[in-house]
A and B are shown apart, each in its own frame.
Chain A
Amino acid sequence: MIGVVIRKELLEVRRSPILLLSMASLPATVVAVPIALLAWLVRAAPEQALLFVQDVYGVRESAGVAAGIASVLARNWLPMFLVLPIFLAVLLAAQSIGGERERRTLEPLLATPVSTLSIVAGHMLAAMVPALAITWIAAALFCLGIDAVAGHMLLPDSAWLFGTLALSPLLALFGNATAVVVSSRVLDPRAAQNLAATTVLPLLALLVFQLAGRIALGPRFYFALAAGVAAADVALIAIAVRLFDREKLLTR
């Protein structure tokens, strides 16, 4: 039954060009703007200035100044690709239960013999698939762009591989589960979306601190983050299934 719910959800996403456009706009910006800026800096900025930037971030690259400045961006921009799966999953998942309620499809859905777990899991996985696919495509394009500017293969390194392949799915699930929990309690899907989207704020804060040169996020941090998010995922899924009470959902 989970497969039936997922197929329907994905079909709905495919039929919604505005939703697809809004999902694609942030990743496009996250990839295109820094790469374009990097390419311009490498050509236009004085070498002294570029070396100064590398000093600020403590980066030394033997392959040259361009590779050095690309390396700075590569290391610091990873958190943005951890924000993406959460943001995209929230965008879709917040529409799930709240959207079902708003379109009045919730009652006929709940009147079927499908289990609570199947409905929740179906909605979650259906939101995760496009969120992860877009994140991975964006990450691949970003890596290609960085490598092109650097003139040799800088990315993906081990942090990027771990971040995009292991951490992104966990974060997408986190955004998803949060959105399902919130949307099962909040009547307006847009309010649910906004509330759930606040979960990206800690990651954005980390990004800002890292860009400001105040912290340097290393492998240990990403491993710890993965463990914490995995634990949060399990807890949130359990809460989502418990909150998904047929009677409560219909009477709210």
Chain B
Amino acid sequence: MAAIEADALAKSFGGRPACREISFTVERGEVFGLLGPNGAGKTTTLRMLAGLYAPDAGAARVAGYPITPGRPGGPELRARVGLLTESPGFYDRLTARENLMYFARLQKAREPARRCGALLDRFALREHADRPFAELSRGMKQKLAIARALVHDPDVILLDEPTVGLDPEATREVRNVVAQLAADHATIVLCTHHLEEVERLCSRAAFIAGRLVAIHEIRRGSLLRIELAAPFAPDGVRALCHSLRLSGSTLLIEPRAEVPEIVAALVRAGARIAEVAPHRDPLEDAWLQLLAEARER
């Protein structure tokens, strides 16, 4: 069974639709992105999956627990979901450890003290654990919020804009933490408007702009882009590639052989090469095109 199954979820507030036709599934151990501009309905979708909002229409099943119109997920669902809220949301006067312990107890975590200690170690917060929350850096606060989302060992982790408002250093730290979680095969829904985060961390992403626009599969590091300095017919290197596409002066190759071997073969065949680089998944192009199409409709 999938960890999350959302089927045509819709939600509106005071007659204004926040999102509609949101359907996707997230497999166990998958990192799934929810991409969309501000106000696209990402947070609303996440809150429905976290059992905070009841959908107006559609249904979902999260960690095996149902969400139906008018009925948000109950306490059993909330106990199996870890939610990272957009703002860390801790008590300034309590220490990092006291804050984490408070939520561990509310989440009925097993052996809360041991669990909190382990998480503080994991996120390199141990030496700051007894400082008031207000004194922590932005990056530390966000890491503590991620620790809170994990404190009860949830089946599903929902991350709402984990790097929003962070400086570059803190952003990198938090992305590394999410990458660690992904490497541990956690089931994650990552809600963001940063394409590079999705490209780096997710296997699939849903584009949302008030409704589900498309679901995109992320491909990483599988293509090679070669910029040619002069026109060239690449037929001689086809044997070294799974696929080969020439578009103007750009040659896109899905390599069968090692990169130096392909480059050497091209040079031997007379190609004048200006640049060789891994080809990024064209997520940005796809996103902008889908967004434009959605706006036209």
Binding site for B on A (CB under 8 A): 1, 4-5, 8, 11-12, 15-16, 103-115, 246-247, 250-251
- Main SS at interface, chain A: helix
Q: How many angstroms between the C-alpha atoms of A250 and B47 in the bound complex?
A: 10
Residues of B139-172 whose CB lies within 8 A of A: 145, 148
Residues of B76-107 whose CB lies within 8 A of A: 76, 78-79, 81, 83, 85, 87-94, 98, 102-103, 105-107
A113 and B91 within 8 A (CB): no
Q: How many angstroms between the C-alpha atoms of A246 and B89 in the bound complex?
A: 16
Q: How many angstroms between the C-alpha atoms of A232 and B239 in the bound complex?
A: 85
The stretch of B25-33, B50-58, B182-190, B252-260 that contacts the partner chain: B50-58
From known contacts A4-B105, A111-B52, A250-B52, infer whether A15 and B94 are also in contact, taking CB-CB under 8 Å: yes
Who on chain B is nearest to A246 by CB? Answer: B52
B94 and A113 within 8 A (CB): no
Binding site for A on B (CB under 8 A): 13, 47, 50-54, 72, 75-76, 78-79, 81, 83, 85, 87-94, 98, 102-103, 105-108, 132, 145, 148
When the two chains form the complex, which single residue of A4, A103, A104, A247 contacts B52, counting CB atoms closer than 8 Å? A247
Q: How many angstroms between the C-alpha atoms of A108 and B108 in the bound complex?
A: 14
Q: How many angstroms between the C-alpha atoms of A104 and B94 in the bound complex?
A: 15
CB contacts (< 8 Å) of B145 on chain A: these are 108
Chain B min CB distance to A247 (Å): 5
Q: How many angstroms between the C-alpha atoms of A205 and B92 in the bound complex?
A: 39
Chain A min CB distance to B111 (Å): 15
B94 and A111 within 8 A (CB): no
Q: How many angstroms between the C-alpha atoms of A104 and B47 in the bound complex?
A: 15
CB contacts (< 8 Å) of A5 on chain B: these are 106
Who on chain A is nearest to B145 by CB? Answer: A108
A103 and B92 within 8 A (CB): yes
Query: 6 interchain pairs (CB within 8 A)?
Result: A103-B91, A104-B89, A106-B89, A107-B83, A108-B148, A111-B81
Who on chain B is nearest to A119 by CB? Answer: B106
When the two chains form the complex, which single residue of A16, A103, A113 contacts B108, counting CB atoms closer than 8 Å? A113
Q: How many angstroms between the C-alpha atoms of A107 and B86 in the bound complex?
A: 9
A115 and B89 within 8 A (CB): no
Q: How many angstroms between the C-alpha atoms of A5 and B148 in the bound complex?
A: 16
Who on chain B is nearest to A107 by CB? Answer: B85
B90 and A105 within 8 A (CB): yes
Who on chain A is nearest to B148 by CB? Answer: A108
A12 and B94 within 8 A (CB): yes
Q: How many angstroms between the C-alpha atoms of A106 and B52 in the bound complex?
A: 11
Q: How many angstroms between the C-alpha atoms of A164 and B55 in the bound complex?
A: 49
Q: How many angstroms between the C-alpha atoms of A104 and B148 in the bound complex?
A: 15
B103 and A251 within 8 A (CB): no
Who on chain B is nearest to A13 by CB? Answer: B93
B75 and A111 within 8 A (CB): no
From B88, B103, B105, B106, name the one whose CB has the most chain A CB atoms within 10 angstroms.
B106
B85 and A104 within 8 A (CB): yes
CB contacts (< 8 Å) of A4 on chain B: these are 102, 105-106
B53 and A1 within 8 A (CB): no
B52 and A113 within 8 A (CB): no
CB contacts (< 8 Å) of B52 on chain A: these are 107, 110-111, 246-247, 250
Closest 10 CB pairs of A and B: A113-B75, A15-B93, A112-B106, A104-B87, A104-B89, A113-B79, A111-B83, A4-B105, A105-B89, A107-B85
Who on chain A is nearest to B88 by CB? Answer: A104
CB contacts (< 8 Å) of B92 on chain A: these are 103
When the two chains form the complex, which single residue of B72, B87, B88, B98 contacts A11, counting CB atoms closer than 8 Å? B98
When the two chains form the complex, which single residue of A1, A11, A108 contacts B85, counting CB atoms closer than 8 Å? A108
Chain B min CB distance to A134 (Å): 20
Who on chain B is nearest to A8 by CB? Answer: B102
Chain B min CB distance to A181 (Å): 21
Chain B min CB distance to A88 (Å): 19
